[in-house]
Structure 1
Amino acid sequence: MTHAATRARTAYKPARFPGAPLLGTQARHLVGRFSYGVTPALAAQVRAAGGAHRWFERQLEPSRVADRRAAGLRAWWPSFDRRPAELWQRQERELEGGWEVMEDYARWALVRRITSDRQVLEVMTELWENHFNVPAVGDAQFTYRVSYGDTIRSHALGRFDDLLHAAVTHPAMGIFLDNAVSTARHPNENLGRELLELHTVGRGQYSEDDVKASARILTGFRVDLWDSWEASYSPRDHWTGPVKVMGFRDPNAERDGRPAVRRYLSYLAHHPATAQRVARRLAVKFVRDDPPQALVDRLAKVYLDADTEIRPVLRALVASPQFKASVGSKVRDPGEDLVATYRVLRVQLARPPAGRAGDEHAVKAMLWQVGNLGTSPFSWPRPDGQPIDSESWSSPSRVLASMDLHWAMAGGWWPSKGITYRTPKQWLPRKKIRFDLFVDHLSQQLLHRRSTATLLRACCEMCDVSPGDVISADHPIVKWDFHRLLGTVLDSPAHFTR
């Protein structure tokens, strides 16, 4: 009887391989939403912490989580610690373009997300870098972009009012939205407008007069874009006089307008409309694209009651029934798919050599991989940041591009330099194992859940075997076709969602 005839009469009942204990559905949901993929190593950390909620609480205090592997990655790229003037001079001398430094910054972010044990911090840092988007592709802001990312990370789990002030007054933001050249005589409205429209209260809450006043308040923050590239505050460039933005009024009488800026940004951070926008953003990211208004209202109240502290809002979110009911409802975006694939395949990455010699190394190639899926980190050109909803990343072309990524990495074909893949034999849990048990083992390892009848059937049909076939190191699947099996598991909906 042929395999095809055998499969026609087969009931695809999934087997159960006795692996390490799996996290329960809700625990996997919590850890999966606030990480870049549940791996066996991460599941072990969760169990060691005493469960998912204790792990989550520990993650909310990043300093309590040792992160030696990720901490050493920065040294791979020495230019991250160069001063802005030196970066610009290196570009002018054609030693290293700003675009090259920024591509390395995106690679650093991806590798850090793959390796870091501070997963919640990495997820929240990415969320806020999108919210306060400063593209890494500009020809001037690149000089301060690494510092800007460091600043966002340092505030990612703190108070939103502090985060808002740090982001809006940072030289990278000032260069990108022209506040670095805004003066009392010629106020530039770009940052004043985006501060209201995107960073805080949102459209419909302010007028054009409010935008003009917002821009005047922010004058004085300067960057020398021609010589020293130093950031400074220039009191003579600050517009003085009474200002009014919505319900905010200030005499703004001092030449040093920084205290007025602090008061203004604190007002915006504590505004009910800002509370709604922050709450909705978190709910869209971690619950679903159309979160119930009741959940948003509850989170907004926690935000205001906690004086804009972010952690209490996250605690309230994960405790909500809406969060618990949202299992499987969020699609991974391109970066999340790439990082999760690297994580579950447990590849080992090597430091790429400097110059052209490192061009084909995996750490460099992964930027082209994620770009093929739709977007690279920090490449979104507009100030609104890349989308965080599932619909934006659910097109047929995206699915096909992800399947291509999974297929290439399942076979260990590309990237092939500076990377060590597990061999097919290393994935075998026993010298000999029935195929249905093997599928369940791989499902546990890559998806952190038991196999299903659908997954088993897909694997059988892709590999042209039956559930009861015995697999060993000499079987054709292991010798030649293992990419078919591994790729099928990675192409399952469970890997496309978080």
Structure 2
Amino acid sequence: MTSPTTKKPGKKPAKKPAKDPSSLSGPDRHLALRFSYGLTPELRRDVRRLGGRGWFEHQLEPRKISDRKADDLAGWWPSLGRSPLDLWQRTQSEVEPGWQVMEDYARWVLMRRITSKRQLLEVMAEFWENHFHVPVDADGVFTHRVPYGKALRAGALGSFKDLLFTATTHPAMGIYLNNAESTKAAPNENLGRELLELHTVGRDAYSEDDVKDSARILTGWRVDVWKTFAAKYSPDDHATGTVKVLKFKDANTSRDGRAVTRRYTDYLATHPATAERIARKLAVKFVRDDPPAALVKHLAKVYLKHDTEIVPVLHELVSSPVFSASRGTKVRDPGEDVVATWRALQVKARKPGSDSSGAEAILWQTSGLGQRPFAWSRPDGQPITNAAWASTGRMTGSWRMHYSMAGGWWPKDDLRYRPPKAWLPGTKVRFEDLVDHLSAEILSRPATAQLLSACCQAVGVRPGTRIDQEHAVVQWQMPLLLTTLLDSPAHMTR
């Protein structure tokens, strides 16, 4: 009788495959997923080299990260650099409509999210551009919308004080919420109200009298709409006289109201209600949909202690045990899914040569899933909770998108996909090892038994089947195999 430790003649002991170097440990993977648009080989190398927290700290200093490929994308859509007057004249003369420029802006942002090495900055830029939402389809907004987005990206890791003042006084926001035409003779209340309700203290914290004085403070920030679209500050249009909003009171005697605007937005930025709303929104985005009250309260205290600086709040957020325990709890929205799929499949894009080019078609991918960037019609910005993006229709749409891209069928023009045989880790490999390798490459973690079972069913092979370049799995079933991974919860969550 052979003992359990005795080798049987002529049979080699089973060899457990080495862990794929593409996998990341749980905490490192979690941190990188929450603050990026999906892991790539390059990002994984950075995380392994620096560690999860080291990568996070490095990302918090984007100026130290060279990002030439992302910076070069602006040249793909030249009108993104045009002046407001030029854009207006081009749409008036029917050379290029404003909606087309806004579609190109969305494409540029999506391609930045795919390409940029400054992943955390891009994630935070989207967060603030959604918080201070200015829909690209609003009348006249296209003239100033690109600089608006760039201004929010530039301040995304600074202070909320600066972001609030920048957004409130920007011509794009002024045009959208009618402050660009607000005067002391006829103050428009739209921006004054949304500044309180959406951007700072919240709906139940203010009165109608507060809205009226909020609007008076903001008079003077003008745009020459429907003519030159030039932005300026007009002292003649500023409503002077004592103003009171909540506990903010100002004599407001100067005709130049820029200083009182800054005092006012600084007050709102440091209001305890604002601190709690921003803390909660960050926790909902990066932790879970129902963050504990204790976490929100702690983050709000950090926010106020550091004079509304964002980075200290992010530090505390990722250090929280609640953050560590929240792996896999956030559903990717459609835009995040499209970008993450491009990154997971390592698709490379060239400068668009036609309307069917991949860098053009990416907008139709997100639109087809119900989320064209910056097109949310209301001023509150799109939802950031799971319930908004976990419908049956959205999921089936994502699965169709995954399959189309896994096969390299659409979008296709001016794109380079990895050929099926490039996904093989060697010339011949057991199917279970191929699945584990693909899981590491696409999901950045080892395959689970459940995933292996799903992959076996998808292509009709057993775990021990030997796969080479001539096998049907490589020759024509690879799209089914890749799609199975992309359809899994590990890819659909972040």
TM-score by length of 1: 0.95
- Aligned equivalent of 2:436: 440
Q: What corresponds to 1:424 in structure 2? A: 420
SS at match of 1:72: helix
Query: Aligned residue pairs: how many?
Result: 480
CA contact (8 A) 2:22 2:445 kept: no
Distance 2:19 2:308 in 1: 46
**Mapping of residues 9-88 of structure 1, within 5 Å:** 16=17, 18-20=19-21, 22-48=23-49, 50-88=50-88
Per-residue deviation, 1:16: 4.4
**Residues 62-121 of structure 1: per-residue CA shift (max 9 Å, x gap):** 101111110111111111111101101100111111010000000000000001000000
How far off is 1:227 after superposition? 2.1
2:222 match: 222
Q: Does 1:106 align with 2:84?
A: no
The question of 1:313 aligning with 2:309 is answered: no
Identity %: 59
Root mean square deviation of aligned Cα: 1.1
Aligned pairs for 1:286-301 (under 5 A) are 286-301=286-301
Alignment correspondent of 2:6: none
Cα deviation for residue 47 of structure 1 reads 2.2
Distance 1:123 1:290 in 2: 20
> Could you say what secondary structure the match of 2:244 adopts?
strand
Alignment deviations for residues 147-204 of structure 1 (CA, whole Å, 9 cap, x no partner): 0011001110001000000010000000000000000000000000000000000011
Q: Tell me if the contact between 1:425 and 1:473 (Cα under 8 Å) persists in the aligned partners.
A: yes
**Contact 1:184–1:219 under 8 Å retained in 2:** yes
Which secondary structure does the structure 1 equivalent of 2:213 belong to? helix
Query: 1:458-491: CA deviations, max 9, x gaps?
Result: 1101101111111111001111111110111111
Q: Report what 2:478 is aligned to.
A: 482
Could you tell me which amino acid in structure 2 is paired with residue 448 of structure 1?
S
The DSSP-based 3-state class of the residue aligned with 1:433 is strand
**Offset at residue 22 of structure 1 (A):** 2.7
- Provide the rounded CA distance (Å) in 2 between the counterparts of 1:302 and 1:184: 38
Q: Which residue of 2 aligns with 1:8?
A: none
Q: Secondary structure at the match of 2:205?
A: coil
Measure how far apart 1:21 and its partner are.
5.4
> What is the SS of the residue equivalent to 1:121?
helix
Q: Find out whether 1:156 has 2:152 as its counterpart.
A: no
Letter paired with 1:414: W
**SS of residue matched to 1:198:** helix
How far is 1:139 from its partner? Answer: 2.9
Q: How does 1:332-481 map to 2 (within 5 A)?
A: 332-353=332-353, 358-481=354-477
Task: Pick 1 or 2: higher relative contact order, CA cutoff 8 A, min separation 6.
Answer: 1
Counterpart position of 1:10: none
Q: Counterparts in 2 of 1:117-196, with a 5 A limit?
A: 117-196=117-196
Contact conserved, 1:165 with 1:262, CA < 8 A, in 2? Answer: yes
* Partner Cα separation in structure 2 for residue 416 and residue 205 of structure 1: 51
Q: Scaled by the length of structure 2, what TM-score is found?
A: 0.96
Query: What is the distance in 1 between the residues matched to 2:226 and 2:395?
Result: 45
Partner of 1:6: none
Unaligned residue ranges in structure 2 (runs of 5+): 1-15
1:23, distance to aligned residue in structure 2 (A): 2.0
SS of the equivalent of 1:95 reads coil
* Cα offsets for 1:388-438 (capped at 9, x unmatched): 111110001111000000000011110111111000011111111010000
Confirm or deny: 8 A CA contact 1:98 1:139 kept in the other structure. Answer: no
